[in-house]
Amino acid sequence: MKELVSRCPIEEVMQVLSGRWPTLLLYYLKDGTKRFSDLRRDNPTVSHKMLTQELRKLEKAGIVQRTTFEGYPLRVEYDLTPAGLGLVPLIDALGDWWEETEDARLGTGRLIERAVQAST
Amino acid sequence: MKELVSRCPIEEVMQVLSGRWPTLLLYYLKDGTKRFSDLRRDNPTVSHKMLTQELRKLEKAGIVQRTTFEGYPLRVEYDLTPAGLGLVPLIDALGDWWEETEDARLGTGRLIERAVQAST
DNA sequence: CGGTATCCTCGGAGATACTG
DNA sequence: CAGTATCTCCGAGGATACCG
């Protein structure tokens, strides 16, 4: 985890949400409680190590709640915290934006050729 | 750039926004046109290579517009596209959420100890 | 079952130098 | 000034094995 220069809140959230798994985990956890093994099944390509690591990161950030149940076999459940729940619609908004702007994003900048002007 | 399994829009945006620089560049570009060298000055720690690389990624995604001016010395300007402009408030919302929920995020899950229950 | 530790590898990212 | 190419290196992340 690389140190940040500034204390910019955007840098800080992105530090937590960056990468392939955080938002995916959010996505699966918004349906409700999931066990560790459930999350592995939801994301077949995540490695055992990465999953624990990313869940820990989200836990430390106060986005997910980890609950352990003693006994054998071991059992651990993950939920979104209230704060984490509030994050979900913001992530969804990003996904919506991505879809809605698809035409605009791929159109703009290809047809408009402002380039090749002479500078002083 | 790792391939995605699914075509989930959230995975796709995060692929573009993940990392340290994309949101920072968005932040600096929302003030208006910036030259390459301006952006280097804004982010003293980004390497020459990373900056071009990240700008290209944002350009391909249709978030920034790159305009070149022929002549010596070379001159290249970067702007947010209309679509990119629409992304800014969504990123800001994430930053706001991060600040607003700070207490909730750090409080929840430390005081509440649901753990240590017996399973069957 | 869930977590941690160890090892190993592969590619992301810096430094440097050259071109238009 | 902006971009690309080459080389290098460090560490993120996979595989494996063992513990509670």
CATH number at residue B53: 1.10.10.10
Q: What is the pLDDT of residue B81?
A: 97
Mean residue pLDDT of chain A comes to: 88
* Mean pLDDT of the B38-63 span: 96
Classify residue B89: in a domain, yes or no.
yes
Classify residue A52: in a domain, yes or no.
yes
Structure token digits, residue B85:
């402009």
* Mean pLDDT of the B50-61 span: 97
Chain A (11-30) residues lying within 8 Å, Cβ to Cβ, of chain B: 11-15, 17-20, 23-24, 27
What's the structural domain count of chain A?
Answer: 1
- In this prediction, residue B2 has a pLDDT band, given cuts at 50, 70 and 90, of low
Q: Which residues pair with A118 in a beta bridge?
A: B70
Q: Does B58 touch chain A (CB under 8 A)?
A: no
Q: What is the pLDDT of residue A88?
A: 98
Q: The domain containing residue B91 runs over which residues?
A: 21-102
Residue-wise pLDDT tens digits, B14-25: 999 999 999 999
Classify residue A2: in a domain, yes or no.
no
User: Which of B2, B83, B96 comes nearest A108 by C-beta?
Assistant: B83
Q: What is the pLDDT of residue B112?
A: 47
Q: Does B105 touch chain A (CB under 8 A)?
A: yes
Q: Which residues of chain A have pLDDT under 50?
A: 108-120
Classify residue A9: in a domain, yes or no.
no
Neighbours of A62 (CB within 10 A): 22
Quote the DSSP letter at residue A108: T
Taken in order B28, B34, B39, B42, the sign of the CA dihedral is negative
Classify residue B113: in a domain, yes or no.
no
Residues A12 and B24: beta-carbon distance below 8 Å: no
Classify residue A113: in a domain, yes or no.
no
Q: What is the pLDDT of residue A6?
A: 62
DSSP SS3 for A12:
helix
Residue-wise pLDDT tens digits, B58-109: 999 999 999 999 888 999 999 999 999 999 999 999 999 999 999 999 974 4
